[in-house]
Structure 1
Amino acid sequence: MLGFGADLLWADMNRLLAFLFHQGVLDEQFLQLQQLQDHTSPNFFIGSSSSIGAKRVTSVCIAFRAASEQDNRAGCLRALEMLEHEYCYLKNKLHELFQIEQQRALAAGVRYPMQHQ
């Protein structure tokens, strides 16, 4: 049974995920990958997948490719600017999400293995 603190963190994580889905930042691919994570591989997302369901980043990449194929320099520059913005936003939100998950796991008594850098 999860402790009270873990329950609150779980609710925080679910609210953040719902927000990211509503904003179109993530898609169903993220949930599918999240389901593959279990207690034997708690750090599954670290280097395990090139696609995490980042819907808005994918859309911007498609726009960049289209502009590139049309030799549209202004479109490429606009898409690169948007890509930087979307990437930074996604990175920050995923960092927030993983921090909540780590706190929730610690509150529930689950320990992640230490990473050697």
Structure 2
Amino acid sequence: MDKNHLQHQLDMKRSLLDQGYLDEQFIQLEELEDDDNPNFVEEMVTTFYANSARLLQNIEQALGSRPIDFTKLDNYMHQFKGSSSSIGATRVQKECTLFMEYCEAANAEGCIRTFRQVKQEHASLKTKLEDYFKLARQGGPSAGGQAGR
């Protein structure tokens, strides 16, 4: 991998961390990558997005039902927050926490408003991570988790 490419990848990761999209958990996942599993983080993120789509759909349906079951909503969001935490998705986690506070207060409008933010942060991070992994793949083998060590 050329030096400029590696630097661009490091800069992109630093930007995601500095802007609060990701936290230390993401870096720890990258440290688990090795020659036997060079795409570990990308696979984790892909699994997260596949599973989170189902949870987001469940939350959306629960928000549309009347009366709203705030306990069920809180449980769904708790699962979603845990999944987000597993990949270091900091901004998503923060919105999940706020949503759960609205559930506790039985504030439907707050839940609906915050759910929009959860989905927005979720989608924004997905786009940014897709760009990051695309850049890593362009760098060739050992471009992913080996960067920044």
Shift of 1:42: 1.5
Is 1:23 aligned with 2:19? yes
Alignment equivalent of 1:34, drawn from 21, 30, 34: 30
Residue correspondences, number: 104
Following the alignment from structure 1 to structure 2, what is the Cα–Cα distance between the partners of residues 41 and 83? 31
Letter in 2 for 1:73: A
Contact 1:64 1:76 in 2 (8 A): yes
**Aligned with 1:8: secondary structure?**
helix
Is 1:73 aligned with 2:73? no
Alignment equivalent of 1:61, drawn from 96, 112, 137: 96
Q: TM-score, normalised by structure 2?
A: 0.64
Unpaired stretches in structure 1, ≥5 consecutive residues: 111-117
Letter in 2 for 1:43: N
Contact 1:7 1:104 in 2 (8 A): no
Matched residue, 2:56: none
Shift of 1:81: 0.5
Contact 1:56 1:86 in 2 (8 A): yes
What fraction of aligned residue pairs are identical, expressed as a percent? 35
Select the structure that is richer in helix: 2
Following the alignment from structure 2 to structure 1, what is the Cα–Cα distance between the partners of residues 128 and 97? 22
Matched residue, 2:126: 91
